[in-house]
Amino acid sequence: MNTALLVLVAALWGAAAGALLPRAAYRFSVPEGEEWRERCPGGHPVEGWPGRARCGRCEAGTPPYGPGAPGLATVTALVCAVLAAATDTRPELGVWLLLAPVGVLLTVVDFRVRRLPNPLTLTLALATPALLGLVALVPEHAGDWPTALWATLALGAGYYVLYLVNPGGMGFGDVKLALGVGAALGWYGWSTVMLGTFAGFLFGALYGWTLVLLRRAGRKTAIPFGPFLLGGAFVGLLIGAYAA
């Protein structure tokens, strides 16, 4: 399969997967300590997790109760297409394409309610090293599984220390998310781990200072860090995959 066709297939996969995220984003977007949403704003039960965020029992013309499917489909398609362009036909691309929709979903939920749900972060923490372990059995891969495992522990431990030092600025959800991110970055080596980690903190700092300059936040205002942790990992993966 040539690269152009591969990118197209990845984009189509991303668009299809992203279109199924709105309902899950709505159900997961609740404050810490509350149960996942079981009903639409009109009070009707919401069944299942994947699908559009629109209730068929509400009055005609009622707007969607969650984020729009076209926007999520477009973002997920772009993420998958860029990952495919950087990774090419190496087998680890399958892992990145499976994890990308989860990363988009986590980003949306964290921005909306500053929460990283355990079902998503813990799934990433377990699935990422497990899937990469399977990929390591394929001769054409370009990563190192033992380094991915060590990076899982190292990044998780590093974020845990930050959480202990400043629990107001670093949530425990970020610690759990760092486990899966560490495995993905570690696949391409320690330099990729450092690059992706630095990029995440840089993006978070730029976002925070932008809010301060716009007078929409103070210097001590807490911001959702999960999206920037994932954004840094995305940059690290692109560079690591391209250089591999």
52-63: burial string, b at 16+ Cβ within 10 Å, e else: bbbbeeeeeeee
What integer pLDDT is reported at residue 219 of this predicted model? 67
The pLDDT, as a whole number, for residue 61 is 62
The pLDDT score that the predictor gives to residue 181 is: 97
Spatial distance between the Cα atoms of 28 and 105, rounded to a whole number of angstroms: 9
**Domain membership of residue 45 as a residue range:** 3-243
Among 27-41, 103-117, 171-185, 204-218, the least confident range: 204-218
Specify whether the CB–CB gap between 125 and 42 falls below 8 A.
no
Give residue 54's pLDDT band: very low, low, confident or very high (50, 70, 90).
Answer: confident
pLDDT of residue 216: 75
For residue 60, the model assigns a pLDDT of 67
- Please tell me the total count of domains within the chain: 1
* Segment 132-182, tens digit of pLDDT: 999 999 988 999 999 999 999 999 999 999 999 987 778 899 999 999 999
